[in-house]
Structure 1
Amino acid sequence: MCIIFFKFNPRPVSKNAYRLILAANRDEAYQRPAKVADFWGINNDILSGLDMEEGKEGGTWLGISTRGKLAAITNYLQPRQDPDARSRGELVAQFLTTDMDSLSYLKKVSTEGHLYNGFNLLAADLSTEKGDVICYYGNRGEPEPVVLTPGSYGLSNALLETPWKKLCFGKQLFQEVVEQSQTLSKDALIAQLLEVLNNEEAQLPDPAIEEQGQDYVRPMLNKYAAVCVRCHNYGTRTNTIILVDGDGHVTFIERTMLDKDPSLWKTSTYEFRLQS
């Protein structure tokens, strides 16, 4: 289970407004090995965490490059997984390293969607001169990717904007913070977005998530139905905030769990200007 909230306006009117505000949780088994966010050694223009599970090394769930490429993925909740399917994390990593634009890349991915278990993929080209473009494709939804219109969106483990109660609840909290973004300091904005991501209030009952997850999700529904998932050995282990201002200045904050312990966290901050 993961969740992403974002608002984008490629050409904000005010100098104090952000072109993009993104807040995301990565939910995963605590013991699954991963690297915290950093610039890649070889492709040092790419910033992301990295999956280090055997056979899936080098994939990622969310990343951005100084060239203005951004991608994020969530799994689509399904009761049964194909153990022979390809790793979904490679889809984000491949976009961050390719020269293809976001829509062309997602069109290519749509022809190969059957090779993966269910996923939702966001791909973006952030350009100060041309304007930002964000596209979406889910391999359990429409056959073609779509270019998103400016606005606010929520994505969890169903198709984009599927009105799960946790998604609607979290999106409302997110929008309330975003509405204040021009009057808040950057630190205050980040702090309030982290509060949204760490809300553990279960939004129940939710027949929609039960119907999609079936017997897989029902025993854990009271935990899974919150923005922040907290189970014994699984849950929210990474919070990520990405802010992009009108001049192309990027602030990337990752708060990540240490030593499989929900009481131990490390926060890293990266700042750079988009090259595009």
Structure 2
Amino acid sequence: MCIIFFKFDPRPASKNAYRLILAANRDELYNRPSKLVDFWGSGNEVLSGLDLEEGKEGGSWLGISKRGRLAALTNYMDARQNPDAQGRGFLVSNFLTDSLDSYSYLKKVSSQGHLYNGFNLLAAEFKAKEDTVCYYGNKGNPEPIFLKPGIYGLSNSLLETPWRKLQHGKRLFTDVINQNLPSDSLVQELLHILNNEELRQTPDPAMESQGEGYSQSMLLALAAVCVRTPGYGTRTNTVILIDRDGNVSFTERTMLNSDINQWKTSCFNFKLLE
């Protein structure tokens, strides 16, 4: 499970406004091996964490490149998983190192969507003359779509599916970003939302219907923005800001040693290449 809230505004009017504000949680088994966020790839242009699970090494869930390519992935909630399906994390890392534009990349992915378990994929390009954000989910429409400027929420169903936890978290996200806070305060407020375990929104018939096959205790845990169970839950929070001039702020808070009491916060700041 994962959750992503983001505001896309390619040409913000205010000098202090942002082309992108993104806040995301990665929910995963605590003991799944992963590499902490850092730069990698040709010329160290790509910034992301990386999966180290055997057979899926090098995949990712969220990342951005210095050339303005950004990708984010969530899984589609389904108790029936194909163990032989291809690793979804490569959909992110491949885009970050590819040269195809975001729509063409997702178009290519859509032709191969049947090879994967259910997923949602955001692919974006932030450039000097034009910003583009596209979306494709292999459990939804067969074609990717261009997203209009606005505020969006994505969890483990299709984009903007009105799960209660998504709607509630999106309202809180919207309230925070509308306060025009300084960047440091904005990041901290968004991290606070991402880490709030009390935002449980249940019962949720839509989520429970899609989650047929999950236990009631797991469905209850998954109904919060921040998921917490003994061996599975929210283990990474990420906040990405891209301002009008192409300055990127990337803040990631990651669990260490499978211990919910041990966390490391990493901060990166850079300017997008022209």
**Alignment TM class, shorter chain as reference:** over 0.9
Deviates more, 1:118-127 or 1:210-219: 210-219
SS at match of 2:213: helix
Runs of 4+ in structure 1 deviating by more than 6 angstroms, as ranges, are none
Deviation per residue, 1:95-114 (Å, 9 max, x gap): 00100000000000000000
CA distance, structure 1, for counterparts of residue 108 and residue 220 of structure 2:
38
Structure 1 residue 199 displacement after superposition:
1.4
Task: Check if 1:74 corresponds to 2:113.
Answer: no
SS at match of 1:141: coil
Task: Check if 1:17 corresponds to 2:17.
Answer: yes
**Residue matched to 1:55:** 55
Task: Check if 1:191 corresponds to 2:178.
Answer: no
Structure 1 residue 73 displacement after superposition:
0.3
The answer to whether the Cα contact below 8 Å between 2:201 and 2:224 also exists between their aligned partners in 1 is yes
Deviation per residue, 1:217-247 (Å, 9 max, x gap): 5331221100000000000000000000000
TM-score, normalization: structure 2? 0.98
Aligned partner (choices 232, 236, 251) of residue 230 of structure 2? 232
CA distance, structure 1, for counterparts of residue 42 and residue 143 of structure 2:
33
CA distance, structure 1, for counterparts of residue 58 and residue 19 of structure 2:
29
Identity %: 66
CA distance, structure 2, for counterparts of residue 43 and residue 93 of structure 1:
15
Task: Check if 1:265 corresponds to 2:231.
Answer: no
Structure 1 residue 42 displacement after superposition:
4.2
SS at match of 1:230: coil
1:226 maps to a residue whose letter is: A
The answer to whether the Cα contact below 8 Å between 2:211 and 2:219 also exists between their aligned partners in 1 is no
2:247 maps to a residue whose letter is: H
Structure 1 residue 41 displacement after superposition:
5.3
CA distance, structure 1, for counterparts of residue 213 and residue 84 of structure 2:
22
Residues 108-257 of structure 1: matches in 2 within 5 Å?
108-127=108-127, 129-180=128-179, 182=180, 184-201=181-198, 202-257=200-255
The answer to whether the Cα contact below 8 Å between 2:17 and 2:244 also exists between their aligned partners in 1 is yes
CA distance, structure 2, for counterparts of residue 165 and residue 68 of structure 1:
32
In angstroms, what is the RMSD of aligned CA positions?
0.9
Segments of 5+ residues of structure 1 without an aligned counterpart are none
CA distance, structure 2, for counterparts of residue 107 and residue 50 of structure 1:
24
Deviation per residue, 1:29-56 (Å, 9 max, x gap): 0000001100015451000000000000
Structure 1 residue 263 displacement after superposition:
0.9
2:167 maps to a residue whose letter is: C
The answer to whether the Cα contact below 8 Å between 2:70 and 2:96 also exists between their aligned partners in 1 is yes
Deviation per residue, 1:95-144 (Å, 9 max, x gap): 001000000000000000000000000000101x2221000000000000
TM-score, normalization: structure 1? 0.97
SS at match of 2:95: helix
Deviation per residue, 1:70-109 (Å, 9 max, x gap): 0000000001100000000000011001000000000000
- Count the aligned residue pairs: 273
SS at match of 1:214: coil
SS at match of 1:3: strand
CA distance, structure 2, for counterparts of residue 41 and residue 86 of structure 1:
22
1:197 maps to a residue whose letter is: L
Segments of 5+ residues of structure 2 without an aligned counterpart are none
2:260 maps to a residue whose letter is: P
CA distance, structure 2, for counterparts of residue 253 and residue 131 of structure 1:
24
1:230 maps to a residue whose letter is: R
SS at match of 1:275: coil
The answer to whether the Cα contact below 8 Å between 1:61 and 1:89 also exists between their aligned partners in 2 is yes
The answer to whether the Cα contact below 8 Å between 1:210 and 1:217 also exists between their aligned partners in 2 is no
2:15 maps to a residue whose letter is: K
1:53 maps to a residue whose letter is: E
The answer to whether the Cα contact below 8 Å between 1:102 and 1:123 also exists between their aligned partners in 2 is yes
1:137 maps to a residue whose letter is: Y
